[in-house]
Every structure is written in structure tokens, then in C-alpha cells.
Structure 1
Amino acid sequence: MSERTTSVPDALIPPAAAVPAHRDPNVLRWVAAYTVSMVGDMVFYLALSWAAVQNGTAAQAGIVTAVSAVPRALLMLGGGVVADRFGPRRAVIGSDAVRCGTVLAVAAVLFVTDPGLWLLALLAVVFGTVDAVFLPAVGALPARITTKDQLARVQGMRGLGIRFAAVVGAPLGGLGVAVGGSAAAFAFAGLLIAVSVPLLVSVRVRELPPDEATPRDDTTAWRDLRAGLRHVRRHRVLGPLMITIALGDLGFVGPLNVGLTLLADERGWGASGMGWVLGGFGTGAGVAALLLTVRGRVPYAGLVAAGAIIPGAAAIAALAYAPGLPVAVGTAVLVGLLTGLSGAMCGALLQTQTDTAYLGRVTAVAGIVSLGIAPLSMPLSAAAIGVWGTGPVFVVSALVCALGGVVALCAPGLRRAELPK
């Protein structure tokens, strides 16, 4: 059985080939909902970290802010099964509504009392658990609102939404804390997520044909999970693509998070200098997302992804040896442009190469790599920098990232992969 949308028949949804995604009101509603929800996430995590610092030690605050990653990583494969069995639209709306209600409830509690760290830790666990359903469903939904020839453009639009959320989310969260403390910031985050819910309800989806839908009556969830993993393992593009994504994220996350902080401190750039470098990265990544949004399709997608990963990795290594802040900012722009382009290509290939009925589970596999495995490189990077310094660690991380490009070049299916016309 597949997800059904009785209010809007399929015949009333214009084919995406006739309406480019960036001009399709249905797609734009989805992008708006996703962007507003991501801004709410940014405000939420800032409010969570601020409240944790105010109620405990630095170590306790770190545990509270990190604890949401545990259920998200452990349960995301199950969330992918839920998205495919019950439909991504239903899963997205339900999980977003739960996220909204939970955050607003905690905000109300904080307005009247100070329950301490236990409530914040519980909130983080709940938020991470619901994210385990929300994130795979978000990844599976675009294929239901447009056709494959527009999925690459939707990936670019989604990238622009992420960049927008990163730019405005932290300042809005800081404003909420400054105006009314953590309670006000949580309330603001909840209201932003609440705005996304009716937008998601208004998004129209196509039903999968019966032969493509994930059956719910004669299979178990465990069999569905195994079928999804088997789909990735046996696919000539998806298998090496997951390895490429994993290596790219492992080599990227450490240097561009904890490594950049330590590099800025070592070079005397300060917080403002680090902000300039991060801004350069965001600018480059935003340009890459805009390129994909405007063009809609890039030829030789697999080759472009591999070709962008390797010089992007070299730029990561070069960042540690930048002679001054202006050069570091320029290098960060190049890192953002190249890694943003490779990431967009990998995301677009994942969307277009995966059978629609498996998209929730395949997105979950990629999410575990990015959100479960890659963050492990951050404490390792910090410890390694303490022993060997920033330069060698950035170089090793760049080599790991470049290895992802080598895998893409050595896998014929991925190297020759194209986006649909």
C-alpha cells in the first residue's frame, strides 16, 4: 500500500517537466516549509546550548547538546522504513508537528520554573528521536512532488535553504535569548517549526504506482530494512556513492568544525576571523547550490562530483597553511564552492538513482553516515591537533576526503552516472 492523498487527485498536479521546479508553487511550498523548519532547528540548538550552559558545567552542557545525536543515529534506519511504508508526506507532517509541540511545551515549562538539566536532556533525546523519522522523510518527499528531471534543481533549492538557515538562524536565536532568555528562544523555535506544518500540509504529492510502492501487508519492517540495505549494496551507483559520501564527510567535518576553531585560535584570528572564514565557506557553498538551482542539470554528474571532491580536499589542506586571514577566507570560498558542488551532485545522484519506493531508507543510510559516523571525527581531530598541530591533521583529513573522489573515479557506474534530462 502507498500513501494516499484524496484531497488532490494526481491528475490535478501538473507534470514537473512542464513546470520547472523553481517556478512550481507546489515545490516552492515544500522548500519554504523545509527552510523555515531548518531555521527553527538552528534557533532550537542555540537555545538548548545556552540553557544547558546556564544550568550546568561546560562538560554537562556538552553532553546535553550532543545527546540528541544518539537516538538520531540509532533509529534513523527505522525512520527510513517508516517513511517508505507510510509515505514521506505523512511522516514529515507528523514528525514536524511532534517537534513543534515538544519545543513549545518545554518553552512553557521554562517560563514558569527552572527544572534543570534533566528536562533539557529529555528534550534533546525526544528531538533526536523524532529527527530519525523527519530526516529520511524529508529526503524521500521531493520525488513525490516533482519528476526525476527536476530533482537536481530541487537539491540546489534545498541547499540554498540550508545556507539561508545557517545565516539567519543563529542571529535569530541570539535575539530570542537576549529578549527573553532560553524560554523565549525555545518559544521562537517552536513557532518557526509551527509555520512549516501548514505549508507541508498544503504540499500535494503523487501516489506511487502499485508495483513501485512498499507493501505494508505482507512484509515486516525488518524485511523492508534489509531490502533497503540490499538495494544500496547491489546498486552500481549507490554502493560506491555511499562510500564516497562517507569518506568526504569524515575528511570534511573535523577540519571545518573543531579544527577551524583551533586554527583561528592558533593564528590569532579570533572569533571574528573564524566568522569570516565560515562566511567564506557559506558563500562558496551557496554559489554551488544556486548554480544547480538555475541550471537544473549538470552533465557528467558523477565525473563532476569526483572532480570537485579532489581539488576541494586540496583546498582543505591549504587552509591550514594560509599566510593570513584574507587568504584563508578566499581559500574557504573555494572549499565551499567545490565541496558544495560535489555534495550537491552526490545528493542529486542519490535522489535520481534510487528507486522511489526506497528513498526513505537510502536517505537514512546517507544520514547515518553524515550525522552518526562523521561527527566522530571531531573529537579525534581535536585530540590529533593537540599532538601534531593543525597542519598535519588538516592534510590527513584532506587525504581522507580526496579518497572519496578516488572511489568515485574508480567505480565505473558512479563515474559515468548522469542526471536525467
Structure 2
Amino acid sequence: MTVSSGGSPLWRDQQFVLLISARVISVLGNGFARVALAFAVLALPEAGPGRLSLVLACQAVPQLVFILAGGVIADRMSRSKLMVVADVLGAGAYAGLAAMVLTAHAPLTAMCLLAVVAGTATAVFAPAMDGLVPLVVPVERLQQANGLLRVGINSSMLFGLALSGVTVALVGAGWALALNAASFMVSAALTARLRVSARPRRKTSGWADLREGWREFASRQWLWVVVAQYAIVIAALNANVGVLGPLTAEEHLGGARAWSVIVAAQAVGTIAGAGLAARVRVKRPVLVAVLSTFPAAVPIALLSAQAPVWLIAVAMFCAGIARDVFGVLWATTIQREIPEEALSRVSSYDWFGSLALAPLGLLVAGPIADSVGTSTALAGCAALVVLASTAALLAPQVRNLRAAGESVSGDEAPSTEASKAPEHVVGEEATG
């Protein structure tokens, strides 16, 4: 492993600056929305946990249901234009929610429909964004670009979450939602300025494109193994962050203040991790990425043992660093190894598979904690992270896939020809 400063700063690349600016502003607004939407729903007449759960579910379910369709669409048209459309849809959805909250006229059906629109916009946006990065920056700068994007996104989300409570208290949840809608419009305006060439028109059907994307995904052992690993890992992490961690904090660690310190430590760690990952150079990126998953089990185990808050916070900080090392290496490997014309579809399968068990983790965490105890449930989550990551290491391609430009000896070569997909170096040609 080495650390490299790279060539000239990406900040001098106008296209990259437009892209990262759009993402930072949009994510800042989403930081407001995460808090504002919950308080907006709860502040309405006859509101309660049931209504809040329904609205949030209407936002979350389309993100999973429509992600594969989003990948197909993103590979058939300009990705930047699709991202603009998604931003405008998101702006409209949050503007509608803001208007209903500000006027105190918010029928449940209308709120749910707008939440579905917001979730669908996210499902369309994510694969397009994943496929756009290698079309904006040269292939040799992908890791640096992914790292800088994550630094900006993580910092913006942390800042947005920190300001959201103050904003809701000062101007109300409705105006905070309106600010999020405005951030989407600014993001759309910046993304629209990206200068990318049009995509060739595809003559195949959407179903054929989906099958082709599946073949690209399934033919690479390293890809589907790690996605299967993360289906389990994310389910365990969701159970910890969404249910079990707050329960432990409430019962043994001092309540919400202690939990906020722990969560904030992880958020700061992700910023540091993204900055590190932008510079580090490794010979086997998928192997290092999988190894970077193991630290996620440590804070969960410490929560299970009811360790001191400061120790859990330190472990969460380290886990945050490792999480974004994984994220940058993983995104860069996919962008380098997958043919550009199928990149968004493969990304959508990555998203779909990784998030497939996420709702289940939230659903079963509470009943399992009631049945066996919170500490035992947390220990089980830590064990799942370790076992899933260990199982992923058994795959030869996970251990042996080399970074671009690294020589491969005969006994370390990936086990299938599919893993040797050529790099698709894209210069000025790009889609959105």
C-alpha cells in the first residue's frame, strides 16, 4: 500500500467542480430533510408514529423497487440529463410537502404520493451518478475523484444534520423542507451545465438491457460475492444504528446525548476515511475493501458489552474511516472494470443487492432484542459482519483482483476471464 498525491488538483477541472458542487448542495439539503420531514409529519393534527412510519416507508420502498429500472434508463440516455430530471422531481416533491406543512393542509394520501415521488427520484438518480463519474474525470483520476466526492458529501451531510435541528426550531419544518427543494433546483442547474456528449440510441428493449446488465454483474465473482456480503452487513448495521444502538444508549449509556456523540464520531470518521482513500494506492483493491469491513463489527461488540461511551465513539470513528476506504475502493474498481455502456445497470444491481435485506434488519431487530436481550442481539449483529466478511474472503477473485496497471502472476490471476474486463478509458466523451 502506498500513498500518492496524484497530478494536478481536480479542483482545476471545471466539470468535476460542477459535479461535486451539485452533490454537496443537494446532500446539504437532504441533511435538512431527514430531520425536517419527521418533525413535519409529527407536528400535523392527528399525527403519530404510525403516520410517520407510513410516509417514510413510501419514500424508502421505491428506492429499492425502482433502482433496477433506474440503471436501465441511465444506460440508455444522457446520465447528466437524467440526474437533472431526478433533481427536478425531488424538488417538486419536497416543495409540495413544504407547501402542505406550511398551510397545515396535508392529507395522508397526498403526503404518501409525494414521498413516493421523492423515493423514485433517488432510485433514478443513484445509478446515473455512479455511471457519470468516469465520464467526467479521466480513468487514472477516478480514485481521487471518488475520494473527494465522498469528503464533500460526508462533510455536507454532517453539516446539514447539525444545522437541521436549529433550522426547524427557528423557522419550522415546512421552511426546512422548502430549503431542501431549493437545494435540488440548484443541483439541477449545476448538473445541467456539464458538457457531455449524447449517448448512442440503443435498439434493444428495456428487458434485454436488464438481462445484459445481469450478465455483466453475475459474470464477475468478486462483484456478486461482495454484494452478497454487504446485503448481510448492511442489514446488521441497520439493526444496530436504527434500533439496537439507540436502545442500548437509552438503557445503559445515558440516552440520546451519548448516542449522538457515538454517531457523530462515525460521521467525522467517514470524512477522514474518504480523504485517506483518495490518496492511498493498493495492489488488490477488492481485498483491501473487504478487509476494511471488519472494523464495523468492533463498535457493535463494544455496545453489546456496554463499554464506556468514549471507547465506543473511538471505535465508531475508526469504523467510519474504514467504511469510506471501502466505499472509494469499491466505486473505483467498479468504474474501472465494468464496460461504460453497462455501468449504471451494474451499479443498480449493486444497490439492489446490497440493500435487499436492509428493511429486514430494521424489522426483526426489535423482536429479537425483546426475545434474547439487546446485548445478545448486538453480539449477533457483530458476528454477522465478521462471518459475512470472512466468507467473502474465500472467493479467489476477491483476494486476487489487481488494480489497473498492476501485473498479475499466473497463480494469482482471477479465476474467470470475465474479471479481466478491459479498462474503458473515457476522455471527453461522456453521458450524464
The TM-score bracket by the shorter chain reads: 0.7 to 0.9
Out of 108-117 and 225-234, give the one that drifted further.
108-117
1:350 counterpart letter in structure 2: I
1:20-62: CA deviation from partner (whole Å, max 9, x where unpaired): 5454232122111112111222222322211211221212112
Cα offset, 1:372, TM superposition: 4.3
- C-alpha distance 155-407 of structure 1, shift in aligned 2 (>3 A): farther
2:71 corresponds to 1:86: no
Determine whether 1:230 maps to 2:215. yes
Classify the secondary structure of the residue corresponding to 1:299. Answer: coil
- The counterpart of 1:242, out of the listed 196, 205, 227, is 227
Percentage of pairs with the same residue: 26
Q: 1: CA distance between counterparts of 2:350 and 2:156?
A: 21
Rounded to whole Å, the distance in 1 between the matches of 2:209 and 2:234 is 27
Tell me the TM-score normalised to structure 1 length. Answer: 0.88
Q: Distance in 2 between matches of 1:315 and 1:176?
A: 31
State whether residues 144 and 207 of structure 1, in contact with CA within 8 Å, keep that contact through their aligned partners in structure 2: no
- Whether 1:201 aligns to 2:185 is no
Q: Is the 8 A contact 1:264 1:270 kept in 2?
A: yes
Give the Cα–Cα distance (whole angstroms) in 1 for the partners of residues 399 and 145 of structure 2: 22
Q: Are positions 1:294 and 2:279 aligned together?
A: yes
Structure 1 equivalent of residue 426 of structure 2: none
State whether residues 44 and 189 of structure 1, in contact with CA within 8 Å, keep that contact through their aligned partners in structure 2. yes
Per the alignment, in what secondary structure is the counterpart of residue 169 of structure 2?
helix
Alignment of 1:6-155 (within 5 A): 19-21=8-10, 23-55=12-44, 56-155=47-146
The answer on whether the counterparts of 1:298 and 1:419 sit within 8 Å (CA) in structure 2 is yes
Q: Which one-letter code corresponds to 1:419 in the other structure?
A: A
Question: What is the total number of aligned residue pairs between the two structures?
Answer: 398
The yes-or-no answer on 1:309 pairing with 2:300 is: no
Match of 1:175 in 2: 166
Over the residues paired in the alignment, what is the CA RMSD in angstroms? 2.2
Q: 1:408 to 1:347 in 2, by over 3 A?
A: farther
3-state SS of paired residue (2:42): helix
Q: Which residue of 2 aligns with 1:5?
A: none
Shift of 1:105: 3.6
2:365 match: 381
* Residue pair 1:69, 1:371 contacting (<8 A) in 2 also: no
Match of 1:157 in 2: 148
**What TM-score does the superposition give when structure 2 sets the normalisation length?**
0.85
Answer yes or no: is 1:350 the counterpart of 2:334: yes
**Closer/same/farther in 2, CA of residues 198 and 303 from structure 1, 3 Å limit:** same
Deviation at 1:67, TM superposition (A): 1.5
Residue 188 of structure 1 aligns to which amino acid in structure 2?
L
CA offset digits 1:199-234 (Å, max 9, x no partner):
1112233667xxxx6x522x1001001110111001
- Name structure 2 gaps, 5 residues minimum: 1-5, 406-432
Aligned to 1:4: none
Structure 1, gaps ≥5 residues long: 1-16
Q: Which residue of 2 aligns with 1:11?
A: none
- How far has the Cα of 1:113 moved from its partner? 4.7
- Pair 1:349–1:315, CA change in 2 (3 A): farther
Deviation at 1:270, TM superposition (A): 1.4
Matching residue within 163, 166, 170 for 2:157: 166
CA distance, structure 2, for counterparts of residue 325 and residue 176 of structure 1: 28
The partner residue of 1:420 within 379, 396, 404 is 404
- Counterpart residue identity of residue 313, structure 1: A
